[in-house]
Structure 1
Amino acid sequence: MQKKLSEITRAEWVAIIWLECGEEDGERLFMANGRRTPDEAMNAAEEWEVFQQANDEVNSVVIAEKG
């Protein structure tokens, strides 16, 4: 199964090992590659939170610049 980064839910990111496999329409593509161990899932959940915070900060700056 291949998905664009924007199509992967938090639950999928945490539960599944994703391998980057290219790009489509300027967005990174990932392919599922099995389930994560509990330790891997914990790390993936932390990665998701860091990514989400960074993404929110970037969006705030872009909105402020447009306003």
Structure 2
Amino acid sequence: MEIDEHGREWRKSSRCNDPDGGCVELVVSGGLVRIRDSWNRAGGMLVFSSGSWSVFLARQKEQWFR
């Protein structure tokens, strides 16, 4: 885990198995889910409401995105 300048604890995906550390990281705070590339942390992030993120995860589990 890494703590950024705003005090947020970023977590790497539990599915991350890249020995070089290239993974997706996320943080949940203030009702938002922020996602970034661990190789390019300064390159920006995707931001979702926690509700939208929950819907995305549920759809992913249903294999809706095939």
> Is TM > 0.5 for Structure 1 vs Structure 2?
no
Larger gyration radius, structure 1 or structure 2: 1
Higher relative contact order by CA 8 Å / sep ≥ 6: 1 or 2?
1
| Class of the TM-score when normalised by the shorter of the 2 chains | 0.3 to 0.5
Q: TM-score, normalised by structure 2?
A: 0.37
